[in-house]
Amino acid sequence: MNLLVVDASVAAKWCLPAKGETLTEDAFRLLQRYARGEIRFVVPDLFWAELANLLWKAVRQRRCAEADAKQALEAVRGYRLSTVASLAVLDLAFQIALTFDRTVYDSLYVALAVDAKAQLITADQRLANALAAQLPVKWLGGL
């Protein structure tokens, strides 16, 4: 069974209205594989704050209703994603951030993938393009 790190940009595809969202079908295919037990997901604890912030922003921008955002957050919590404390990979994340000129936030996901001998799946194409040649990062659209 493959272990994958997913970032909040992927989970956002599960939560936000499909209209205007790219890669939604790709994200749901990945989620279906998880539901069937074909793959496992792991996330850093930062994932939850980032996902909640994405949903908050969507409510502010009137992309979705507050009740829908709350329901979406609860649904993702119900997936029972394995969650790792960011502190456990912080030193590696900081080094990745310095080496590759990426934010520490993004680097926490990458560091978790490295530490767990997994692959990070992201909907952030710029992040994937910047790191995929040297680190275990894959763009959701390239699956």
> To the nearest whole number, what is the mean pLDDT of the chain?
95
Provide the CA 13 distance to its chain's centre, in angstroms.
10
CB atoms within 10 A of CB 43: 25
Distances (CA, A) of 93 to 90, 112, 143: 5, 8, 24
Q: In which residue are the tokens 């493959």 written?
A: 2
Q: What is the DSSP letter of 123?
A: S
Domains present along the chain, CATH in parentheses: 2-142 (3.40.50.1010)
What's the pLDDT at 21? 75
Task: Give the model confidence (pLDDT) of 72-88 as tens digits.
Answer: 999 999 999 999 999 99
Cβ pair 115, 89 in contact under 8 A: yes
3-state secondary structure of 29: helix
Task: Give 1's pLDDT tier (boundaries 50, 70, 90).
Answer: low
Q: What is the mean pLDDT of residues 118-137?
A: 96
How many CA atoms are closer than 13 Å to the CA of 35, on its beta-carbon side?
A: 10
pLDDT of 22 higher than 90: no
pLDDT of 139 higher than 80: yes
pLDDT of 98 higher than 90: yes
Residue of 6, 2, 40 lying closest to 140 (CA atoms):
6
pLDDT of 38 higher than 90: yes
Cβ pair 55, 73 in contact under 8 A: yes
